[in-house]
Amino acid sequence: MKKVSIKDIAQMAGVASSTVSFVLNGKARKMRISETVEKRVLEVARNAGYYPNQLAISLRTGKSKTLGLIVENIGNIFFATLAKTIEEEAEQYGYRVVYCSTENNASKGKELISMLSQRQVDGYLITPAPHMEEDIQQLVQLQRPVVLIDRYLPAVEASHVLVNNTDAVEQGMSHLFSQGYREIGFVTVDLDIMQMEQRLDGYIGALSKEGIRLNKDNILKIPYTHQRDEAVELIATLLENNPHLDALFFATNYLAILGLESINRLKMSIPQDIAVISFDDHDIFRIYPPGITSIQQPVEAIAKKAVALLMDQCENGENKIEKAAVELAAKLIVRGST
């Protein structure tokens, strides 16, 4: 009923609480505790069903062995996979992860950072929402371990690891070109995120390399605060207004899913009427006939690298931290849609 503390164990075993602590932490040898006492303490602790109070430990040691992970939306498969992989990776180092979503809302992001700070996380893994620069900069200035994922902020001196977005899009575009598609629409989201700009740059760059003139009408920027149906409508309108389009490039998986609805609604068929390719993979893309070609981010590699960088900062303590900027290559998954 009442939780048992180290003090209770000490009393029951007839020793001081420091002795119990030493034994329970395997420092019996180092602290020259006799085997007799050690055994007795261990025995008492087990019988009493003792388990340590992590709060007290963290308070005393100043290490919570916890990392804070802030993503855009834990509901999206990309972030969910990222979170899961990061969690597994962190576990290797003996750290727990607590995760939360910004929904791309800066003020929510600010709150989350504050909440994580109050909970004394040892380090921060952040996919920054727009306008979170100041808050993150502050963490960096306070010398807190921080690694940005999936995006980076030019204004902030923090380590980051992300996919090479421009290259990835160009890779996808080359594939489309090689399949004979020339009139390619690009659907992205109207968000001021570096990563989205890079993807758009990749699109524009690929066109120019191929000697195709950029047609602004082929680019659709969907407001981030869209309702599902409105977005579907917008994409459908793009297709109707531009019948010359033979392929659509979606900048993220959730846009592509909306796009599939639009295409469905127009009774167009993939890839005969329109080819489709999406950034970020998704379960649906594997199943949805005829299979949707996508650009798969190396989620595992990103997670591993990010955690490694963060651990480095955490363990390195007072030494000045070097900032690392890591870019990884994406992988094209060709399916029936192209």
Partner DNA sequence: TTACACTTCTAAAACGATTTTGCAAAATTA
Partner DNA sequence: TAATTTTGCAAAATCGTTTTAGAAGTGTAA
Q: Which residues bind DNA (CB under 7 A)?
A: 3-7, 14-19, 21-22, 24-25, 31-34, 36-37, 50-53, 56-57, 59-62
Please choose, from the candidates 166, 162, 196, the residue with its C-alpha nearest in 3D space to the C-alpha of residue 301: 162
Among 58, 137, 164, 242, binds its own copies (CB under 8 A): 58
Residue 314 to residue 247: CA distance in whole angstroms:
46
Q: Does 107 bind its own copies (CB under 8 A)?
A: no
Q: State which of positions 299-338 bind its own copies (CB under 8 A).
A: none
Among 143, 208, 241, 316, binds its own copies (CB under 8 A): 143
> Which partner from the list its own copies, DNA, none does 223 bind, CB cut-off 5 to 8 Å by kind?
none
Judged by CB under 8 A, which stretch of 73-81, 150-158, 206-214, 218-226 contacts its own copies? 73-81
Between the CA of residue 254 and those of 75, 167, 250, 279, 314, what are the distances in Å?
Answer: 11, 21, 9, 9, 34
| 3-state class (DSSP) for residue 54 | helix
Among 27, 31, 75, 134, binds its own copies (CB under 8 A): 75
What is the smallest separation between the CB atom of 266 and its own copies, expressed in angstroms?
A: 13
What is the smallest separation between the CB atom of 32 and DNA, expressed in angstroms?
A: 4
Q: Does 115 bind its own copies (CB under 8 A)?
A: yes
Instruction: Identify the sign of the CA torsion 34, 40, 43, 45.
Output: negative
* 99 touches 89 (CB < 8 A): no
Strands 331-333 and 293-296, by their bridges, are antiparallel
> Which partner from the list DNA, its own copies, none does 142 bind, CB cut-off 5 to 8 Å by kind?
its own copies
* 110 touches 52 (CB < 8 A): no
# residues near its own copies by CB under 8 A? 37
Between the CA of residue 42 and those of 10, 12, 47, 82, 83, what are the distances in Å?
Answer: 11, 11, 9, 40, 37
Judged by CB under 8 A, which stretch of 77-85, 127-135, 200-208, 215-223 contacts its own copies? 77-85
Between the CA of residue 233 and those of 189, 219, 240, what are the distances in Å?
Answer: 14, 15, 10
Nearer to its own copies, 178 or 272 (CB): 272
Nearer to DNA, 37 or 140 (CB): 37
Neighbours of 237 (CB within 10 A): 13
* 250 touches 276 (CB < 8 A): yes
Nearer to its own copies, 115 or 155 (CB): 115
Contacts of 121 (CB under 8 A, 6+ apart): 64, 66, 67, 68, 98
Q: Does 260 bind its own copies (CB under 8 A)?
A: yes
> Which partner from the list DNA, its own copies, none does 6 bind, CB cut-off 5 to 8 Å by kind?
DNA
Judged by CB under 8 A, which stretch of 163-171, 219-227, 286-294, 302-310 contacts its own copies? 286-294
Question: Dihedral of the CA atoms 295, 300, 303, 304 (nearest 10)?
Answer: -140
What is the smallest separation between the CB atom of 18 and DNA, expressed in angstroms?
A: 3
Between the CA of residue 281 and those of 55, 81, 178, 271, what are the distances in Å?
Answer: 39, 11, 21, 18
| 3-state class (DSSP) for residue 124 | strand
Give the per-residue contact string, 10-49, with its own copies (x = CB under 8 A; - = no): ----------------------------------------
Among 34, 142, 225, 320, binds its own copies (CB under 8 A): 142
Residues of this chain that bind its own copies (CB under 8 A)? 1, 51-56, 58-59, 64, 74-75, 77, 80-81, 83-84, 96, 98, 114-115, 117-120, 142-143, 257, 260-261, 264, 283-284, 286-289
